[in-house]
Structure 1
Amino acid sequence: MAFFHAKASHRRKINHIDRIRDETDCWCDEPASIQGVIQRYFHTIFTSTRLTREELNEVIDTVPTRVTSKMNRKLLEDYSAEEVKAALIQMFSFKSPGPDGMPPVFFQRFCNIIRSATTTTVLQLLDDHTFNPSLNFTHIVLIPKCQKHDIVAHFRLISLCNVIFKLASKTIANQLKPLLDHIISLSQSAFIPGRLITDNVLVAFELNHFLKNKKRGKEGHVAVKLDMSKAYDRIEWNFLEDMLCKLGFNNRVVSLIMLCVRSLTYSFMLNGMQFGFVKPERGIRQGDPLSPYLFIQCAEGFTCLLQAKEHNGDIRGVAAVRRAPKVSHLLFADDTLIFCQATKEAMECIQGILEKYKRASGQLINLDESSIFFSSNTAHEDRMEMATLLSVSIDSMPAKYLGLLYFVGRNKRELFSYVRTRVWQQVSGWKEKMLSQAGKEILIKSIVQSIQSYCMSCFELPDSLLREIESIATNFFWSNMERNKIHSVAWDKMCISKKEGGLDFRKMEMFNVAMLAKQGWRIISNPNLLISCILKARYYPDNDFLHGKIGYNPSFTWRSILAT
């Protein structure tokens, strides 16, 4: 208990906002002045740019209708009490409470007492489109995104909603989720059942490996990495509504979704104290179960703009080999990677697409987090000209996409040392004296062994690095502030199952192999995936995956998967 109390106190201290810089770069340290800076910043974010019909149509006209009459009939059916109950069960029990002060566990635990009133209120909103406006009142909490957080832009906005309204949003989201695979283009991998973030990572790695090694040919290729600033908070409501209508959703479905979006009101929480009131004109909430699915439907407008230019031949995608499918862009929510020919005309085309999408959707490119990478045969003068045209920096290796490296050189231990650093930082921040060995076991299994899982899904990490991570874990397990670190049992024996006398810790090398084997099985089971098609064309064009060879100049991801 002392450990978790200390962690909570430390976290509260980190999240406490003592002072902040205002628009003129002056420090504000009085609560009233800090509140004023925050309110002015978000007033700008939440104020609509008043779109014209022409600006909207520049994007909307490129979007095809994808929602069928059968899908609409399903969406128009009355919601049932069972659907509301299922949504309640799916909610995380101990999420931070909103203005109602109640986490979902209260509604789950006392469901037999309050089920009738809760279900009636939710169904009244979903079926009759009527509800008490106070249900959609939301607290905004600011969480630091980086160590140095001295301006409002350095904070992540989290919306804390009332559970009743969150339950209604979750029920709508459950209806939409099964349809998204038929509505959203294959280039988008976020929030859609059956699509994984690692698919994008593997495709990006193969294509960037191709760019890195392309040293011949007159025409070069380019990868442009884009990041949107406050992506959810800038979505224009008119754009969202027009996108839903153009995709083919019935007017009643669109009306319900827009009711949930437009009835929103905000108040801010600063160091535990509530202040201010905002009636936004645009934006969707981070923390609302429905928001991710609405965002990727808005992002479909950007995809359609790119596809239209690709169809006209203005931009051409990149293929890892001649037989492989061409890829012009990859999306994971607001993280975008564009591949095309390295010409001034192509960059001007991309710049035009970004301007159209920005005007229609309200999105703003975060130039500090955006970058560009060129194939090796692109002249230095051309690189500088194109980077200047897009106002982004030229990527230097090692670079990251979706949190993972997409270039790996010879010194893999050094490149992946950030994994070891993250593990060490976590362990060194824990107070050993406050933890029993049972507590340490739980923390090692839930945190230390999960940190590298994502990286292990795509890369075979060096054995020496994995042994070092195991060493950090075992030192932490046996350490005590009052005595020397004596390891009573070897790590290998601690990895044995509890039935056989061990502690069920993961053997890192074996776990790495298992995670990569899952990628191999996914490629075998889903031959129509983009990554499956690229790998087949590149490494086993006339054979199947199980008979694939390492090939000439293979990527590190292919080497890793093949090693299993």
Structure 2
Amino acid sequence: MADRLHGPLHQIISPTQSAFIPNCLISDNILVAHEMFLYIKRRKKGKDKFLALKLDMGKAYDILEWTFIEAMLLKLGFLHYWVSRVMSCIQSVSYSLLINGCIKGSIAPTRGIRQGDPIHQQYLFYAHKHLLQLSEEQRGLESYMELEFGIEVLQSPTFYLLMIVFFFSQVKLGEISSLNQCLDLYCKAMSQEINLKKSSLTFSPNTHVKFKRWLSRVLKVPYCDGPSKYLGLPTDFGISKKDLFREVKEQTLNKLQGWKKKYLSHAEKEILLKASLSPMSNFAGSHFKLAVSHHEDVRKAASNFYWGDSENDSKIHWISWERLGRSKNRGGFGFRDSRLQNQALLAKAAWRLWSSPETHWARFIKSIYFPTLDFLRARLGHNPSWGWCSILEGRDALQEGLLWQIGDGALVDIWQDKWIQSLPHYKLQYPKPVGCTLSTVANIIGPVTRYWRLYLLQQFFHQSDRDAILKINLSLFPSADKLIWGASKDGVFSVKLVYHLLSNLKQVRDKDGAACKASTSRCLQ
């Protein structure tokens, strides 16, 4: 029953819900919250005033009314037979007390659901959908908070997790009263309680203090400068990024404290570093670019721990950390470079934004920064958020592994674009010969035979490039060229492949830089 109820879940609940939905992550709303709060806090002038209301639902599981669950399932269109089967599972629960090792009595509840119930998450999703429907009916679509970025206007009034709801609205009496009525009706229907101590109001700076106080009394929620964190990550970024992620760095370095390094072998230290050090920064690094000082401190602490350094005793580091970070088949131990790992994780966010443009958070980011452009051609823009700067950092890593899949070849430049998977950097290794007029891949494909024009390949291409081109199989039916992930043979994206790709590129650049430096020193001599 749980599997069957999970099937239509994505068709029923709001698109602002991203937890436990296929192709969505629970952390998708982190970037949405980051942009929304940034927009509100930058609104220092103008007549339009905005607010953000954070609601914490207390005891969301324990006091959920059974009658409300049944009515909500029927309203969503489920059959009476199916609803009765679900309600029989909910209402059949009973509890007993264990006193001095003996089972005493039996308690039959009349409301509430168990958190261990296989479909308890779906219940709350349907309940929150009712709250969103009430807000739409009470407030109307025209009164939603509209973020005027670029050309497209995206309406994003609400997003939520299981027990935390965010409302974004304009500071207007009609909207606030409608929202208050909606919340009262929702709490009465579900017997829900709002935890006022954990709830908060945030206003744009152009809102007068008198309005803040009055609206705080109306909603019975205290106002403040806004939640400093959402899902453990900061919502507001200042000039110094080092202080914002200080807690992440401390949690990472604390993993290495308390271990008796004298009694651990190098193999045991290797396992400990790989198992506990990198995962601490992965969650923050999946959404935002971490400070350079953070990576340097982590690298230094890991190197000192591995070689047995302490505050009073310094050991010799017999091998550099860069060599230890190489893969094992290249003579290293496979330690991850936290800076490259951060960039690889951001590449995953860029990949999801590019490959799944229909998701709610992707449409939200697109409406702000590139409403009329493709993501791969989007620009940084004026006064961007740190989240957008981080995504562009991941896009640079993503583009290193993208290559063109040849269809008709009309969009692919022969000499500049990446389109040959078997060659280094996916490009031709030899420059364009003098007198050659070929520009796109379509010029070297027979339009009728759908095969490579061998006489052109023999005339203008080097043998190694020619052999690599002939390995590409062409479709009998021409189609449009498209970009794919070329770092894997099956086209499946993974953070591991991005990291190895970035690591190999870094080694090539370091080797070229060392050779250039050596040649320069010889010339000076």
TM-score, reference length from structure 2: 0.68
Offset of residue 498 of structure 1: 2.4
Distance 1:526 1:416 in 2: 29
Offset of residue 429 of structure 1: 5.2
Q: Which letter maps to 1:205?
A: H
Corresponding position: 1:229 with 2:58 = yes
Corresponding position: 1:309 with 2:131 = no
Work out which of the residue numbers 382, 405, 414 in structure 2 matches 1:552.
382
Q: What SS is found at the alignment partner of 2:67?
A: helix
Match of 1:456 in 2: 285
Corresponding position: 1:180 with 2:21 = no
CA contact (8 A) 1:371 1:393 kept: yes
Work out which of the residue numbers 230, 237, 247 in structure 2 matches 1:418.
247
Offset of residue 432 of structure 1: 5.2
Work out which of the residue numbers 50, 68, 76 in structure 2 matches 1:247.
76
Aligned-pair identity (%) = 36
Offset of residue 436 of structure 1: 5.1
Deviation by residue 1:409-467 (Cα, 9 ceiling, x = unmatched): 11111011111122234433556577554444444333331122221121101011122
Work out which of the residue numbers 448, 467, 470 in structure 1 matches 2:299.
470
Match of 2:373 in 1: 543
Distance 1:501 1:275 in 2: 65
Deviation by residue 1:264-316 (Cα, 9 ceiling, x = unmatched): 23457899999886433222222333211222122111111112223265x42
Offset of residue 378 of structure 1: 1.2
Q: What SS is found at the alignment partner of 1:428?
A: coil
| CA 1:427–1:265: 2 relative to 1, 3 Å | farther
Q: Give unmatched runs, 5+ long, in structure 1.
A: 1-171
Corresponding position: 1:349 with 2:178 = yes
CA contact (8 A) 1:184 1:297 kept: yes
Q: Which letter maps to 1:498?
A: K
How many residues are matched? 392
Match of 2:357 in 1: 527
Deviation by residue 1:464-519 (Cα, 9 ceiling, x = unmatched): 11222233334444449999563444332332222223332221111111111111
Distance 1:439 1:183 in 2: 49
CA contact (8 A) 2:200 2:226 kept: no
Distance 1:472 1:293 in 2: 44
Work out which of the residue numbers 513, 524, 532 in structure 1 matches 2:343.
513
Which range is displaced more, 428-437 or 256-265? 428-437
Q: What SS is found at the alignment partner of 2:383?
A: coil
Describe how 1:98-497 pairs up with structure 2 within 5 A: 172-266=1-95, 278-311=107-140, 313=142, 315-321=143-149, 323-396=152-225, 399-428=228-257, 437-479=266-308, 484=313, 486=315, 487-497=317-327
Q: Which letter maps to 1:510?
A: L
Distance 1:284 1:474 in 2: 50
| CA 1:288–1:433: 2 relative to 1, 3 Å | farther
Match of 2:334 in 1: 504
Offset of residue 545 of structure 1: 0.9
Describe how 1:5-154 pairs up with structure 2 within 5 A: none
| CA 1:326–1:274: 2 relative to 1, 3 Å | farther
CA contact (8 A) 2:58 2:194 kept: yes
Match of 1:21 in 2: none
Deviation by residue 1:201-231 (Cα, 9 ceiling, x = unmatched): 1111112211111122212011111111121
Distance 1:245 1:394 in 2: 38
Distance 2:51 2:40 in 1: 7
CA contact (8 A) 1:310 1:317 kept: no
CA contact (8 A) 2:304 2:310 kept: no
Q: Which letter maps to 2:327?
A: S
TM-score, reference length from structure 1: 0.64
In our comparison, the structure showing a higher alpha carbon Rg is: 2
Judging by fraction of residues, say which structure has more helix: 1
| CA 1:291–1:371: 2 relative to 1, 3 Å | same
Q: Which letter maps to 1:198?
A: S
Distance 1:469 1:296 in 2: 40
Q: Give unmatched runs, 5+ long, in structure 2.
A: 395-525
CA contact (8 A) 1:188 1:332 kept: yes
State the structure with bigger RCO (CA 8 A, min sep 6), 1 or 2.
Answer: 1
CA contact (8 A) 1:516 1:560 kept: yes
| CA 1:195–1:481: 2 relative to 1, 3 Å | same
Distance 1:356 1:221 in 2: 24
Distance 1:393 1:433 in 2: 52
Offset of residue 252 of structure 1: 2.7
RMSD, matched Cα? 2.9
